[in-house]
Chain A
Amino acid sequence: DVVMTQSPDSLAVSLGERATINCKSSQSLLSRSNNKNYLAWFQQKPGQPPKMLILWASSRQSGVPDRFSGSGSGTDFTLTISSLQAEDVAVYYCQQYYGVPVAFGQGTRLEV
């Protein structure tokens, strides 16, 4: 089974500053057949369900602000928030959907 490990577990960033969250998978998530990485990022605010921000490692979902960006390939991935806003305070999860069991990272709590 693929294991997803995020770092750090928690992160405090000032408003307007950059936030970076890392995610490492125990196996490559890059498909040779379509050259896509089966990696998604989610944001979860208190009392709400998770919201998908990015899929295929770097494709923003419709309506997601462009301050959110995803990068990486293979086993190492990064979610970057270029200029932190107050509404970005949340827990962030990476997810591999390369195969079953689908797996999430343990989450990174982002605070101001």
Chain B
Amino acid sequence: EVHLVESGGGLVQPGGSLTLSCAASGFIFNDYYMTWVRQAPGKGLEWVANIKQDGSAKYYVDSVKGRFTISRDNAKNSVHLQMNNLRAEDSAIYYCARNFETDYWGRGTLVTVSS
């Protein structure tokens, strides 16, 4: 069974940094793209970033380019999202999802950017 568990969310001040992690199990991790998607409170889904199986390609939504970095550790079946220079509009539940088309999702971790 595919299992994705996010961690690392919390309250951070504007301009601060946070690193999210996602632990994966139940599938061959290095066979799949991994993706981060976020959802602001009461809003829709926004794709944030994804990373190729071997980490050789990474893609980002324009609003986070230069501030967020996605990475993965295939030895530890984990994917990470380093978030710098956070803004209020980055406040959301951040979901980790498997594959380019996000076929399985974790339950998410809440990030709140506020002073």
Contact = CB atoms under 8 A, between A and B. Distances in A.
A23 B76 CA distance: 38
Contact of B59 (A38, A44, A55, A101): A101
Contacts, number: 54
A34 B59 CA distance: 23
A102 B33 CA distance: 13
Nearest to B61: A101
Interface residues of A, number: 22
Among A44, A50, A55, chain B packs the most CB atoms within 10 A around the CB of: A50
Contacts of A95: 45, 101-102
Contact of B102 (A44, A52, A107): A52
Given A100-B50, A102-B47, A103-B47, A40 B108 contact: no
Interface of A: 38, 40, 42, 44, 48-52, 55, 61, 93, 95, 97, 100-107
